[in-house]
Amino acid sequence: MTSAALPSKSLRAASVCLAIAALIVIVAVLGMTIGAVTLSVGQVLDGIAGGKSAFIVMQYRAPRVIVSILAGASLGIAGAFLQGALRNPLASPDVVGITKWAGLGAFLAGLFAPPAWAVWAIPAGVIAGAVAGALVLLAIGRSFGGGIAALALVGVALGMLAQALMQYVMVLFPTRADQSMVWLAGSVYGSTMTDVVALSLWLIACLPFVLIATIRLDAGGFGDDTLTSLGISPGLLRGGLIVVSVLLCAGSVAAVGSMGFLGLLSPHAARLLVGPRARHMVPASALIGALTLSAADLIGRLVALPNEIPAGIVAAVIGGPYLIFLLMKEAGRHD
């Protein structure tokens, strides 16, 4: 019975993932048609193959699309791990303010490090910010006990603090305000091949940890006592998941700024489509994150021509109502 059920579930998960991947490809190609010069789908495909529009497609449009896919996928996985580690369906890095702190770290590093060091200073700033945000949250959150909303509220308040700090620094250095707006709202505008390479390298470096964390994630659903009796150290398990989540979140923030609500939305949608098992849910969550972010960017570029709405704002408009829906659904449970 179980042996028959398992392959069918895996099959279902695989087909769902394939379908989402196909959607991502469609959104990506559509995304590459839009810009100062509108290209047809045929011209885009021709450009990818090295034809007449190769320069515009490969230099400008492809990097943007690839960065949105990679960053969205990292956020999707980061959300799945953090929610699993804390056993809290609301705890994604973007809800609890970790992305905001990472953005603040990036902005400060960009501001105070000498320009020649920016290549290293900004990623270091992102990681420092994300780690600081996560540590403060966990330190405060520990004493709040089980309530899922309490931790989320503390995180939201900390995120508001990071945002206000960033706005204050904006006032101090008005000439750098444009940059900080990007860190604040999240945007894939102006992504280059360098961003693609940097983010890819970061994700490749994280991949082994992501795989280990995915294998371990299912155990995260158990209580600490059960874990101990299974011979798993709860602290190590949850700590490890949190670390991987923070690292992935830092990578995406370094590339695209603090995107709202993708890390919240993707794991839930994935669980709905392929069930809660980590080896199905985590890849699906990554794909949904990638799809949502590239779609958000596409929508943001279409709705207000000739202006662009940053993808992070579109994502917040899509994801925020989902958080409210989730609160209503979860209303009776978890205290």
Partner 1 sequence: MTTRGGAATRHETGSAALLAFCLLLALAATVLAGISFGVSALPVARALHLLFVPDGSPDSALVWDVRLPRAMLATLVGANLAVAGVLIQTLTRNSLASPQTFGINAGASLVIVISLIAMPGLSAGGTVWPAFIGAAAVGLAMWALSVSGAMNEMKLALAGISIQLVLAALVQAILIANNAGQDIVYWLAGSINGAQWSKVWIILPFTLLGGGIALIAGRHFGVLALDETTGISLGQNARRVGGLAATLIVVLAGSAVAVSGPIGFIGLLVPHIVRRLAGNDQLTVIVLSAITGPLLLTAADLLGRVAAFPAETPVGIVTALIGAPAFVAILWRQRAK
Smaller CB separation from partner 1, 22 or 157: 157
Least distance in Å: CB of 87 to partner 1? 17
The answer to whether 108 contacts partner 1 (rule: CB under 8 A) is no
Cβ nearer to partner 1, comparing 231 with 332: 332
Burial class from Cβ neighbours inside 10 Å (0-12, 13-18, 19+) for residue 181 reads: middle
74 contacts 126 by C-beta, under 8 angstroms: no
Quote the CA–CA distance of 259 and 293 in Å, as a whole number.
9
Measured distance CA(96)–CA(159) in Å, rounded: 7
Report, in Å, the least distance between residue 138 CB and partner 1.
13
- With respect to partner 1, which residue has the nearer C-beta, 123 or 312? 312
Near partner 1 by CB under 8 A: residue from 84, 103, 251, 310: 310
Site for partner 1 in 136-175 (CB under 8 A): 140, 143-145, 147, 149-150, 152-154, 156-158, 160-161, 163-165, 167-168, 171-172, 174
What CA–CA distance (Å, rounded) separates 128 from 163? 16
- Taking the complex as a whole, the smallest distance from the CB of residue 25 to partner 1 amounts, in Å, to 27
250 binding partner 1? (CB under 8 A): no
Q: Under the criterion CB under 8 A, does residue 331 sit at the interface with partner 1?
A: yes
Report, in Å, the least distance between residue 83 CB and partner 1. 15
Nearest to 74 by CA among 304, 281, 318, 245: 245
Taking the C-alpha atoms of residue 97 and residue 101, their distance in angstroms, rounded to an integer, is: 6
Cβ 83 vs Cβ 156: under 8 Å: no
Question: Nearer to partner 1 by C-beta: 218 or 308?
Answer: 308
| Site map (CB under 8 A) of partner 1, residues 179-198, x = contact | --x---x-------------
| Per-residue CA distances from 90 to 76, 79, 147, 152, 204 (Å) | 13, 9, 11, 6, 27
In the block, residue with structure tokens 């294998």: 215
Query: What's the burial of 1, exposed, middle or buried (CB within 10 Å: 0-12/13-18/19+)?
Result: exposed
Binding site for partner 1 (CB under 8 A): 90, 140, 143-145, 147, 149-150, 152-154, 156-158, 160-161, 163-165, 167-168, 171-172, 174, 181, 185, 260, 300, 303-304, 307-310, 313-314, 316-317, 320-321, 323-324, 327-328, 330-332, 335
